Structure 1
Amino acid sequence: MENMLHLAPSSQAQALALDRSSVFSREHVPPAVSAVTSLPVIDMSRSRDEVRRAILDAGMEFGFFLVVEHGIPEEVMRDMLEVCEEFFQLPAASKAYMYSEDSQRPNRIFSGTTYDTGGDKYWRDCLRLACPSSFPVGSGTRDDWPHTPQRLRGVVERFTALTRGLGVELLRLLSEAMGIRPDYFEGDISAGDVVLNVNHYPPCPSPEKTLGLPPHCDRNLITLLLQGSVYGLDVAYRGEWIKVEPMPGALVVNFGQQLEVRI
């Protein structure tokens, strides 16, 4: 299971220089976004029958949808956005201990803008944290998490616990809609760590020449995304791209490749 957070640049931040390794040719840039189709919005407060049918329909048609009235308090989402923005506004030197290009390291920062990585660079900074499947966690579990801001660890724990619970409930509803046992995706299939990716996109002098992320498929079971105020998420649909505009209070849900294989 994966949680993602997309953060807009601070209004006070200065645009960084765009070097050759951050510029992509036209064939690597997604085609124009369609303005005709939008993703389904599922109201979790409606009847269980309506919700599970809507989840199945949206999953089969798009693999993506938005959920509202999902039970995660607004203050939890707001705190998560704020504390992660505080983290990225810290000086680069004070976050350097978290930096690593080792993909096997579960807790780290990697970046295409702030630190020199070599090779192609995508225009984002990412904080990746491995979050246990249940809280409270044992001593030492969070030792590799950021030390500052001081409240970050508690905020991340609360946000991750609640979003994981929502993810499990969405999978139960999907299972019911397909006529299989509700706990089909529980146990070993979803018992691992929740991977939290916090994506931060600094101001870019020429956004039409670069990419924050390349076109890709999520390889996990299910992803829940809190967009914040960031515009730029596109979803591939029938050879075109749907622009997903941020919706206050909503979470974007993406069924990953593991889920597609399982069903």
Structure 2
Amino acid sequence: MMEDKDLRWFELGLVPESYIVSKEYRPENLDIPFSDSIPVIDLANIPLEAILKASHDFGFFQVMNHGVPEKTMNDAMNVMKEFFDMPWKDESGIVPNSKNWVYVKSSNFAKDGVHLWRDNLKHPCYPLQKCIPLWPNNPPTYQKVIAEYVVEIHKLSLKIFEMILKGLGLDPGYFNDTSEVQLLAANFYPPCPDPSLTLGSFPHRDPSLITVLNQANSTGLQVLKNGEWINVGVIPNALVVNIGNQLEIISNGRLRSVEHRVVTKKHEGRRTIATHVNPSPDCIIEPAKALVNESEPPRYKAFRYRDFVERNKAFGDYTNALQTVARSS
């Protein structure tokens, strides 16, 4: 029988008090069925209206025929599994290769004194060739596999932006030189003894333009819709796309950045790879001038993206960040 010191942090059999979220955040109705209402969009059909409707009604959609090779997706998920399964000698849980990436064990990731039920890896991806040498070099294939994945996700993001811009009636070059896959965030949500007490991710909105999520075959993502949490189901080889704060601002509210969270499961772990497509740091973000007029005045002030991020770091989850740039009515 293994002693406690030989167990990983999530294998102790009970949820430690420091991982129990306050009652206002505790998930309920964990047995509700997984939803088929989150739109599933076939990108091969150039579905402009479907993307705009999904982005307004849900802020989320899943995409099929997206062009990212299945092998590239699987290889990326497999190398992340290798990474999170590696034994770490640094018990602090923070294992920097350089200041440009960090691996954070759950015991070191807290909000209001409560730890999330997850391990997390994040690092920048742009400019890609300069970032690659700064990424983890263990597992040995990490840099090669993830670089190939990021390149494919960038191609997909450009395809999605092209459709959104065309649907909104904006110049096809609106995002030229202002959007890249800036940040990768991978997560491991281990099995949890009591999922009703924990969260893998607090409710939040993303500060990005869009986020593209590879959730493989694992459930746990929930989206807030009309005050109710909706379980997002799993579709083989699909990718989940959600609208971030910046695209809601640029669209002057026509597209919506909505709250989402991750719940834990008792008998199954979850691994995901989120890639955040952001504006360049010095890019000026504001409602697109072609989308505002006397009857539809701008809802948000103009600001530099770098300043938005710095100003809202205090929120952490960027849930209320849009309020800081909203125009008073």
Question: Are 2:158 and 1:162 equivalent residues in the alignment?
Answer: no
1:183 corresponds to: 173
Structure 2 CA distance, aligned partners of 1:163 and 1:257?
19
**Cα distance, 1:230 vs. partner?**
1.9
- Which amino acid counterpart does residue 155 of structure 1 have in structure 2? V
Return closer, same or farther for 1:97/1:15 CA change in 2, 3 Å cut-off: closer
Question: Are 2:17 and 1:20 equivalent residues in the alignment?
Answer: yes
**Cα distance, 1:144 vs. partner?**
2.9
2:220 corresponds to: 232
1:216 corresponds to: 204
Return closer, same or farther for 1:90/1:253 CA change in 2, 3 Å cut-off: same
- Whether the 8 Å contact between 1:37 and 1:242 is mirrored in structure 2 is no
1:6 corresponds to: none
**Cα distance, 1:45 vs. partner?**
1.3
2:40 corresponds to: 41
Return closer, same or farther for 1:42/1:177 CA change in 2, 3 Å cut-off: same
**Cα distance, 1:246 vs. partner?**
1.5
Aligned match of 1:262 in 227, 234, 250? 250
- Which amino acid counterpart does residue 171 of structure 1 have in structure 2? F
- Whether the 8 Å contact between 2:27 and 2:196 is mirrored in structure 1 is no
Structure 1 CA distance, aligned partners of 2:110 and 2:23?
23
- Whether the 8 Å contact between 1:98 and 1:107 is mirrored in structure 2 is no
**Cα distance, 1:245 vs. partner?**
1.4
1:171 corresponds to: 161
- Cα deviations across residues 180-225 of structure 1 (Å, max 9, x unaligned)? 111212222x14x521110101222222111100011111110000
Higher relative contact order (CA 8 A, sep 6+): 1
- Whether the 8 Å contact between 1:111 and 1:117 is mirrored in structure 2 is no
Return closer, same or farther for 1:92/1:242 CA change in 2, 3 Å cut-off: same
1:79 corresponds to: 75
Return closer, same or farther for 1:241/1:89 CA change in 2, 3 Å cut-off: same
Higher radius of gyration, 1 or 2: 2
Matches within 5 A, 1:21-170: 21-32=18-29, 35=33, 38-46=37-45, 48=46, 51-93=47-89, 99=95, 105-113=99-107, 119-134=113-128, 137-138=129-130, 141-170=131-160
Aligned pair count?
238
**Cα distance, 1:143 vs. partner?**
3.5
- Whether the 8 Å contact between 2:216 and 2:237 is mirrored in structure 1 is no
2:278 corresponds to: none
- Whether the 8 Å contact between 2:75 and 2:145 is mirrored in structure 1 is yes
Structure 1 CA distance, aligned partners of 2:224 and 2:250?
21
- Which amino acid counterpart does residue 103 of structure 2 have in structure 1? I
Relative to the length of structure 2, the TM-score reads: 0.67
**Cα distance, 1:93 vs. partner?**
1.5
Relative to the length of structure 1, the TM-score reads: 0.82
Return closer, same or farther for 1:69/1:200 CA change in 2, 3 Å cut-off: same
Return closer, same or farther for 1:95/1:54 CA change in 2, 3 Å cut-off: farther
Q: Secondary structure at the match of 2:115?
A: coil
- Which amino acid counterpart does residue 206 of structure 1 have in structure 2? D
- Cα deviations across residues 84-123 of structure 1 (Å, max 9, x unaligned)? 00111100227978536xxxx541112224x587931000
Structure 1 CA distance, aligned partners of 2:37 and 2:100?
34
Q: Secondary structure at the match of 1:260?
A: helix
Question: Are 2:240 and 1:252 equivalent residues in the alignment?
Answer: yes
Return closer, same or farther for 1:133/1:59 CA change in 2, 3 Å cut-off: farther
- Which amino acid counterpart does residue 129 of structure 1 have in structure 2? H
- Which amino acid counterpart does residue 144 of structure 1 have in structure 2? L
Q: Secondary structure at the match of 2:37?
A: coil
Q: Secondary structure at the match of 1:187?
A: coil
Structure 1 CA distance, aligned partners of 2:10 and 2:59?
36
**Cα distance, 1:260 vs. partner?**
0.3
- Which amino acid counterpart does residue 177 of structure 1 have in structure 2? G
- Which amino acid counterpart does residue 177 of structure 2 have in structure 1? G
- Whether the 8 Å contact between 1:222 and 1:255 is mirrored in structure 2 is yes
Structure 2 CA distance, aligned partners of 1:98 and 1:83?
19
Provide the alpha-carbon RMSD of the alignment: 2.5
